Chain A
């Protein structure tokens, strides 16, 4: 079982990291979800060999228990990554309603600092929109 679990963890990390480098936010979020599953499995994996469920049945001696601590930690980690991912989804939905664009934009300040002729027209439009926002404030 160890080998299959190890390969699964490795695959989850690899796919997650690959998806993280995408320019589309939805894929970044999927990548984060996969990375999250990978790291939670890693926590479980850290508990060593799987055994009888701990504390469930008083006829099983403690020596045959699986290590319960990583299971508790994994549960906590699942809840936390789940919560943050859902928040991230909400923020990206908000971003989509504001811009109708799922693509991660180039950094505006980088563009501002770069030389003028390299600033594309779309970036210039973004910059003027930003300035208007600032003025409204």
Chain B
């Protein structure tokens, strides 16, 4: 067990080192990278199975006492996200082998990508606030380099915005950690959960809000989202796909973890509800105004984050369970939408709505896959998005949060509208002529399409297995809200 918990972090880290050593051999490097990603996925599935049977488990690191040293903690919530994330990471890696912008500059791509993977795993598994900061920095630093891969002119300015904003958030995070340590004398999450309750209410609220601002910036919630739609679209498609699917979700994970474990509440929090409502509404309005497929999808990331926050804001088992389920549905859906956008760009030479049309006739499979995930994003039954949204709405109604229910429904309709807009412009009509396709290599298209199709199948599988999956989310949410199992696991070290 002590080995299994660390494996999702250690495998990609070691593989990152090996891919650095095999820089000059393209094929071997790719094989190591994909093999390591598959092994990480296998290890997370094994971890999920064990945790599902045995409950929350913690492991110490470095031989220090748990309140001084770092603990790795695996609970159901972390393991569920770990598995879904690594499926997305693996699919994007397979896809990137076929994509020209990552295939050719592939030498630095793989070490960075694997380091980012290790950072994502560490963020999910760590039981220490400062270690969470380190995990964020590992994945962010790798993401800075991935975002500027190639160093094109149109990439640099948005990347600067992204780096500056992330760095400011990180410095605020250090400040928050300093203040929390000054107030409690620990950074261990379990000990913090106990110590923070002893503090005066206003100090506690201030610390909670500070952490919310930090994680809210990383998760891109209103009003801290403005960096996202600028920076994500400029990266190579595989990179923006994994950013869109994962990085903001790690921020959402941190919000859920910190708010439920460190600052628990018994009833819905109005502030978080307002943040959720404005995030989803402003995000979707931004999407409706855009004329580029990648930018539309980027604004939808912001909008969708609102749904997850909406579930957390309820602080009820049903709400948090729905948020967890929505997270699991959202990661593959958003990733595959960006991957499909990459295929469209490769086929038609652009992703601007006024320049591309008729993909449905030239690439019917791509169009069909887009239809499935776009409808899932908008929440059309019987797809996974419908189940997630239905669970969220039901949980909100139970707590009489009618305003947010209305906002969520309106946003759903607007999402459907902007998805239809993409469909009409890009997929319908006569195939566009004039713009030459960028890639003529059929083999590379095949690996890109296979990876995307795999992710789309996953979203269908989430819809088909919604019953058992929702039960799992509910158990994870119960563990989060009663807090006992998590605390016991760390204290019994």
Instruction: Give A residues with C-beta under 8 Å from B.
Output: 20, 25, 28, 32, 35-36, 38-40, 42-43, 45-48, 69-70, 73, 76-77, 80-81, 83-85, 87-88, 91-92, 94-95, 98-99, 104-105, 107, 109, 113, 130, 133-134, 137
Contacts and interface: CB of A to CB of B under 8 A. Distances in A.
Main secondary structure of the interface of B (DSSP, over half): helix
Contact of A40 (B163, B172, B174): B174
A126 to B, nearest CB: 10
Interface in B214-260: 229-230
B160 A39 contact: no
Interface residues of B, number: 41
For the complex of A and B, list the 7 residue pairs with the smallest distance between their C-beta atoms, beginning with the closest.
Answer: A46-B182, A42-B178, A39-B174, A46-B181, A43-B178, A46-B178, A95-B156
A25 B160 contact: yes
Given A43-B178, A137-B349, A87 B187 contact: no
Main secondary structure of the interface of A (DSSP, over half): helix
A130 B153 CA distance: 9
Contact of A73 (B152, B153, B167, B187): B187
A32 B178 contact: no
A114 B10 CA distance: 49
A133 B234 CA distance: 12
A133 B153 contact: yes
B144 A87 contact: yes
B21 interface: no
Contacts of A81: 167, 170-171, 174
A92 B171 CA distance: 20
A83 to B, nearest CB: 7
Interface in B148-195: 148, 151-154, 156-157, 159-160, 163-164, 167-168, 170-172, 174-175, 177-179, 181-182, 187
Given A32-B171, A76-B130, 4 more contacts: A39-B172, A88-B167, A94-B148, A98-B153
Contact of A39 (B140, B141, B153, B171): B171
26 contacts: A35-B171, A39-B172, A42-B178, A42-B179, A43-B177, A45-B182, A46-B181, A69-B187, A77-B133, A80-B141, A83-B141, A84-B141, A84-B167, A84-B170, A87-B141, A88-B164, A91-B148, A91-B156, A94-B148, A94-B151, A94-B156, A104-B157, A104-B160, A109-B229, A109-B295, A133-B153
